[in-house]
Amino acid sequence: MRIRNDPQSLSFVLTKLLVNIKIRFIMSRTIEAEFQKAKTLIEQVSKLLRLTGIWPDYLLSSNIRYALAILYYITFIFMEYCDLIDVFGNLDLMILNLMESICHTIIITRVLMMKFSEKILKVITDINEGVDDFYTTIEEKQIYIEYYLKGASFYNISVRYGFITATAWYITPLTNYVVALMANETAILVIPYRISTFFDISLTLQRTIIVYIYEIGIIYFSVCYILSCNIVSVAVNNVCCRLAVLSRRIKQLKYENNEAFITASFHYFCTDHLKIIRVVETINTAFSLVFLNELILITALISVIIYTIILNFDDVDIVGLISLLVYAVIMISLIGLNCVISQNLINQSTELRDTYWQCDWLNMPISCKKSLGIFMIFSQNPLQLSAGKFYIYSMPNFVNILKSSMAYVSMLRTVNSK
């Protein structure tokens, strides 16, 4: 077969080659720009937390801002619990108080932990450390960008949803007051959150307005809780991304290559896997007690809310019923969020375990086989988040949490019927 020497064909091939090179160069620059942007996600999360010094640093100005903010919030929660003591014995008022006070207790626990836990600072340092060195190829950077987009989407949706929800709760009494005034009905302005002010604010409208304005700062702390959840999400997303890249590298390793190269590559794989395990251990150490606190309080609160809905289903108004249902969904979502994040971590670490089992170990050097055996043992227990280091967050356990809440509801109904 004779090869035709066609200048036009040669020119076409060269032009196509140059176009492909140019396209790949442009794609490479775009991916690099997105990669650099992806590394700033944790900084985006930190902006609002730095505003009042909640971000874990030890600057004097930050500490002063934090002291003022935490004094305000602790005073508010103290007045909430004083109100709980005042209404003790009145089931309806106690439930209304607990719906708010338990939620704010959960928030302040996170706020205190964020500032004073050295493990949180270590988690943030670990997820930012060596990002440029770890992701070396365009394909690996694309994986990192994909996980960044998931984290950024969760950040944008959760912060907006948290802000809107907290703001809606805050302005509802004011909206009801304005509507009543416009309808020429008896209008009474009540404060958004139940607190004991130690003086009668109902005597004058001005007192109520002052307390109303005082409580506006609670919206910010509600958003801070969402931001602390985003820190966990970003950290776990980073771990999942590294696990995915590690799985890809193991699958692509050609064991018929130079033995020294194979041994060195597998050594780096093992080192990276150990670093990932240590990061997850740090995350669990930092958040396990907070997770346990939330697990206990939220499970109990969900039970109380559902019991209240059942108990007063015939008497409660539609707006009140919807408010209780929305509140119950929010509380369930807070537990579900931890379970979803942990399940993603379990799935990705399970995939890495399967990659170890499926790799071409027969053609490995002896030293690699020994390392492989060790990491097969390590990977038998998947990486996961835990509450108190004994209750594993996962989707099956999320269902068990809901079952436990319903069991508590049945117990409350049984006690009430006797």
Token digits of residue 410: 């049945």
**What are residue 141's phi and psi, to 5 degrees?**
-65, -35
How many CB atoms within 10 Å of residue 98?
Answer: 20
Q: What residue ranges do the domains of the chain occupy? A: 49-417
Contact 148, 41 (CB under 8 A): yes
Q: Which residue has the tokens 């987009």?
A: 149
**What are residue 130's phi and psi, to 5 degrees?**
65, 25
Spatial separation of the C-alpha atoms in residues 231 and 256, rounded to whole Å = 42
Q: What is the pLDDT along the chain (418 residues), one digit of tens a residue?
A: 444 445 455 555 555 554 455 444 444 567 777 777 777 778 888 888 888 888 887 778 888 888 898 999 999 999 889 888 888 877 777 877 888 888 888 889 888 888 888 888 888 887 777 777 777 778 878 888 888 888 888 888 888 888 888 888 888 888 888 888 888 777 788 888 888 887 777 767 888 888 888 888 888 988 888 888 888 888 888 888 888 888 888 877 776 666 677 777 777 777 888 888 888 888 888 888 888 888 888 888 888 778 777 776 666 566 667 777 777 787 888 888 888 888 888 888 888 888 877 776 666 667 677 777 777 777 778 888 888 878 888 888 888 888 888 887 777 777 666 5
Contact 358, 412 (CB under 8 A): no
